Structure formats: structure tokens, C-alpha cells
Chains A and B, each alone.
Chain A
């Protein structure tokens, strides 16, 4: 993420079929924006990230990142990094090796890479824990390692698939804080799937609300997630129509 800026992420009429579900995404996230993707389960939140990351191939439509058509590129050639909810780290490798994979996927790491890995580990607050195995870390620390690996990959787009869902409220706040800091520094584009509208509020994010495999509403968190927001979100947020008025 040395570019010090993100890339725009655009899905142009992207269609993808699941055995029992049809997805149609059309959206544009400007460079450097933090977008939080909300929606009921099964709405297609993770599928959207999988399409951007290249783990799934759309049936039709184009995916454009930073003005470049990446639809046909394999995952490793796309300018994105992803952090999952779990299992981001290889359990048999220590923290430094897990982060180092972000520099060299065959782990043949030179001195310059080693330096960069150490800086990233320190940046996420884990200095001194380089030799720990994932099992010796807390859930929050493991996610920090995954973020450190995303940092050393220096890709302009960061995809987060419910990265803090298994953390308690305190840790969750810490991680949101870390994410906000990193974004202020690097200005990467962030697409984060979440099930907690509070995440979007805290990050002052752009909210993309999915339902039934497509974008149902979109806008700044401060407008969408307050009373009087769009009707589409009422049921999801538990606001009754009357109260909303």
C-alpha cells in the first residue's frame, strides 16, 4: 500500500449464479473510500467480495479496479488483499512467516522483506511476538497479523470479510480504531463486510446495503443508518415504519 492511495472498485452489471440464488451487482466504490457492506445473511455480501478478489468468476459483466479490467485475472494478479473472519494464518507458521508470505509466497525472504515485515508487525502492535505461533495469540492478535500481511502486500484495495465478527466488543473497538488509523495513513480503498451497523457508523463509512443478491440501498452511514433512512433498511435494522416517520 505504498501507493498512498487506493483504487476505485467498480462492478459493471456483474452477474453470478449460485445453485439457488442469482446475484446481480452494479456498483462503484471511489478510490480511497471505506465502504461497509451490510445486509441479511444470504444477501450476497461474501459473494461480492469473492467476485472482487477473483475467487469466483462472474457469468457476465466486468470488474474494474483502478480503471483496469481485472475480470479475467487470477486472484494473485489483482490489486487486492483479503482478510477473512477465521483461518487467515497458517497454524504451523509463526507470525513473521505468516506476514512474510505477503512478500514472497514461497517464503524465500530477503533482508529488505524482513525489514518490511518487522515494521508491519510493529505497526499493528505485535512487536516482540514475531516468533509466536497463531495458537499462542488471541483472536484479536491473529487478525492483527492478517492485517499486517495485507500491509506488506501493498495492494491498493483491502477486502475484509467480517474480520472482527468473532471478537468481543472491546477488541472490536480496538480493531476498528486500528483500521481507521491505517486508512488515515495509507488511504487504501476498503470494502468491509459486516453484520454490525455500528462498524459503519464508527468508520463514517459509505454503506452498501445488499438484499436478495443486489444492492438495495447505498449512501453515507450517517444518512442510511439513522431514523428516517430508506425504507429498504427498516426491517434489517429493526425499525418499524411508524417509528421511522
Chain B
């Protein structure tokens, strides 16, 4: 095929040799990595399933269906309660394009996505939990204390904490694409808030709405840490957590395979829906969202918008504040004298650096290969399969959740050796794969812009292949590469899924240690560890933020 392409290309563009070489080879290597990671897991699961025979059928019991139903209910409610308010919040943020602190609010809204889930859970229980701030206020006021949040309530609160700000930003990006003239015309025509929503705001957000809802549903249906810590009992378990429990506590591989099959079916359908609805715009994940609205909405609307923004800000801010306050009031000195803590911090950082570097390298390979392939395909009809593969390969982890990959390798490894010896390898590779969709989102626009700017010049000067990557593309990508690395490392730092499955006394990361201290009710230790984890992650995110901003200002 490559030879055929080469000849076709020569026939059409006799002056230009197709830069097949390095970029494409690296792209294939990255795809091979992902294929092995996922393929081996699926083989492991299939083998296990084949061995189970009738036992596998028996695993599709009422328990499994109850877990599946809870997953749907939990994810559906979380999505509804995240996306609908997010629409209102986005409209409010768009209506007030330049109040003091708007930039800070938007940054705050980007935080939950980057915050380790376990830290967020700690913050949420610190506010809404049985001994949380809300309960304290209630007892001071003499009113009955709020209901226990463990179970569905807590899971939904935590999921809304993560996804409401994310969805707001995605919708705000849709609104920011409305031409400035529209707002002026609407104010001249005298549209009220309802007409404006119906005729301008909703059409601008509608394109994104399906994709945003599907994305949030996906994140909630596959969320592991939140459900493990806030649910986990027989009444509040999702497929993800049930897979983990089947392998970790019951050593019931057959049940794990059955659960995984249902989980894959569910994620497959959701991914298909995302594909149908159209993915939300990439920019929602970027740091700044500009708004062009220059008309001045009437005071009533401005007040309503202000109240809504303030309430949402408080909702996002309170759990963060709770983590900070309880963390600083913990005995940090004592905590930092424990060798176990230092070992966990070092382990997490080393794993994070390797996983981050691997993730960025693989993502860059895919992005460069896609660009090279697109260049080759330019002006040619059809046969864009390879380009598509490079473009969407990074999304693999979205279809096959980390816990499924972990489970597959786990049940395969158990046949040959102690699966826990695989732990470092599994944690690094799965963490790297997990961060790839985000790394690609950061790298691809920058890479494609640089390519568009340099393509003709490089072709004219005969700069291609590796020397082009080294001399032209990499220097232009400094900021985005740093940002992608910091973001990938932060994700790895906060991951609990793979380590929960493979972790043991031999490999303890910071979140794993935090989980241990939380489950043994050493609350003060947990508060301090949550703070350390939060500070590490937020420092990395701030670094990523700075790299992107610096890049933009150049």
C-alpha cells in the first residue's frame, strides 16, 4: 500500500516526495503499543471466559444486573444534574463578560478536572459528610443534621462537582463562538431573556449539548474512585467498582469477565452516541474562554447571573477549601516524618514522570503521524482510514476503561505468576494511555498550526523527516509539550484505579496510601495526605497552565 501511495503521489506531485519515514513509523509504534495494551487484556479476558464455560453464564446473575442498573441510574442522574445547571451557568458567565475575578472563576472551574478524584471525595465529605461543615452548621442551628451522603447522594454530589464546571466551560465555548453582532442585534431588537435563549444561546450550545452530555455520562459511568469511596456497598456499586471487587476481594475472575463484558457494551454504546452527537469542541479544555458579548443585559438578568455564578463558585470552592483547611490542621510534621509517606511520594513522582513522558511521546507520535498522513492524503478522495486511526487511537482508553485493561492483564498474569509483580509496569503504561486523549488535545492543534505554517517553507527548503521534527516542529511546540507532560503527570499522580487493583505493600503510591489511611479511619493522616496530593497535582496543573499561556502570548 505504501508503494502504491508513493507512486500515486509521485504522479500527482512530481516535485514532492512523501515524508513517509519517521513520523509514520513512530505513529505505528504508538498504535502498536495501544493495541498490545488493549489486545492482551482482551485476550486475557477471553481466555478466562472460555475456561469458565457455564460458570460464566451463571455470573450474569441478579447481582450483576443490579450493579448495571445502578451504574445507569447513577450516571444518568449525575449527567442530568451536571449538564442542565451547566447550561444556565454558561449563559450567566456569558452575560457578564468582564466582572472582576471572572478569569479566576474560569480557572477554578478547570480545577476539578485536574484534581485527584480521591482528594475531591475527601473535600466533598468534609463539606457534606456526617461530620462535615454542613452538619456542624446544622447542629449549631439546632436543625436536624443532613442525611448521610454515603451511597447515591454522595456519588452524585462528587460527580456534579467534577462535571458541572467542565460542562459549563464547554457550553461557554459554544457561546463564545456566537458572533459579537448577534448580541448587539438582539439588544437592538429588544429580545427578552427567553427569546435570546431560544434564538441565540440554545442554538449555539445545541451543537455541543449532545456531545457534552455523552462525555459527562461516560465519565460518570466509568468513574472508579468516587464510587469506591462514597459507595461500594452492595446497594451502591457500579460496574467499574464491581470488577475491582470481584478480582480483589472475591478472586472471582468469571464474575469479573461478565461485568467487564457489560461494561464494554455500555461504554461502546456511549462512545457511539458521542460519535453521533459530535464531540464537544476541543477548546473547552483550554484555559481561557473569551466572551464577545458587549451589550449590557438589564439589571435583573445581571443580578440573576451574578447569584448563579456565586452559588456555583461556592459549590466548587467549598470542597477545595475543606481539603486545605483540614490538611493544614493535620499534624503535617508527624506525617512527613513517616518513611512510608516519603516512599509513597517518591513512588508517585517517579511513576508520574515516566508515565507523563511516555504519554507525551506516544501522543506526539500519533499527532505527527496523523499530520503526515493528512498531508499525503490532501486532495485525495477516500482512503483516510489510517489518518482516522492516528487521530482517534488515543481515545482507546475511553472505550476500554483502565480497570478493564487492568482486569484483563490481571487474570492473564495470574496464570503464570504473581500478578502483583506486574504492578509498576501496569501502572505506568495504563496511566500513560489514560492521559493520551488529553495530551493529544493539547498537542494536536499546536502541532497542526505549526505544520500549516511551516509546510510549504520546509518543502521548499527540503527539510523533512527527523531533522524537521528536531529543527522546526519540536522548538515550536515547547509550551504545549510541557503542558501535556504536566497534565499527564498530574493525572497519573491522582490515579487510583490501576493501583487499587495491582497495588500491594511492594508498590504504594500516594493515592493508594491515602485510601489505606482513609479506610483505617486515620482521618488526620488522610487529611494531610490529601493536602500533599492536592498541592502536587495543582502545582503541575499550574505549570501546564503557565506553559499554555506563555505559548499564546508569544
Contacts and interface: CB of A to CB of B under 8 A. Distances in A.
B184 A55 contact: yes
Contacts of A55: 184, 187, 294-295
Contacts of B185: 82, 84, 88, 101
A92 B187 contact: no
A195 B192 CA distance: 35
A75 interface: yes
Nearest to B186: A105
Interface in A79-104: 80-82, 84, 86-88, 90, 92-93, 101-102
Contacts of B190: 74-77, 105
A212 to B, nearest CB: 23
Contacts of A102: 189
A55 B188 CA distance: 9
A107 interface: yes
Given A74-B298, A107-B199, A87 B187 contact: no
B195 interface: yes
Q: Which of B184, B188, B199 has the most CB of A within 10 A?
A: B188
What is the predominant secondary structure among interface residues of chain B facing chain A? helix
Interface in B177-200: 179-182, 184-192, 194-195, 198-200
Contacts of B188: 53-54, 75-76, 78, 80-82
A105 B179 CA distance: 18
Given A55-B294, A102-B189, A90 B199 contact: yes
B179 A106 contact: no
Contacts, number: 66
Interface residues of B, number: 23
Contacts of A106: 191-192, 194-195, 198-199
A82 B184 contact: yes
Interface string B286-315: 000000001110100000000000000000
Contacts of B151: none
Contacts of A101: 185, 189, 199
A75 B181 contact: no
Interface string A55-88: 1010000000000000000111110111010111
Contact of A105 (B182, B192, B294): B192
Nearest to B183: A55
B187 A86 contact: no
A86 B188 CA distance: 16
A107 B192 CA distance: 11
A101 to B, nearest CB: 6
Contacts of B19: none
Lowest 10 CB-CB distances: which A-B pairs, in order? A76-B190, A87-B179, A106-B195, A87-B181, A105-B189, A105-B191, A75-B187, A75-B188, A84-B181, A92-B203
Interface of A: 53-55, 57, 74-78, 80-82, 84, 86-88, 90, 92-93, 101-102, 105-107, 153
16 contacts: A55-B295, A74-B190, A74-B298, A75-B184, A76-B187, A76-B189, A76-B191, A86-B179, A86-B181, A90-B182, A90-B199, A93-B199, A105-B189, A105-B191, A105-B195, A106-B198
Given A75-B187, A78-B188, A82-B185, 20 more contacts: A53-B188, A55-B184, A55-B294, A74-B296, A76-B190, A84-B181, A84-B185, A86-B181, A87-B181, A90-B199, A90-B203, A92-B203, A93-B199, A101-B189, A101-B199, A105-B190, A105-B191, A106-B192, A106-B195, A106-B198
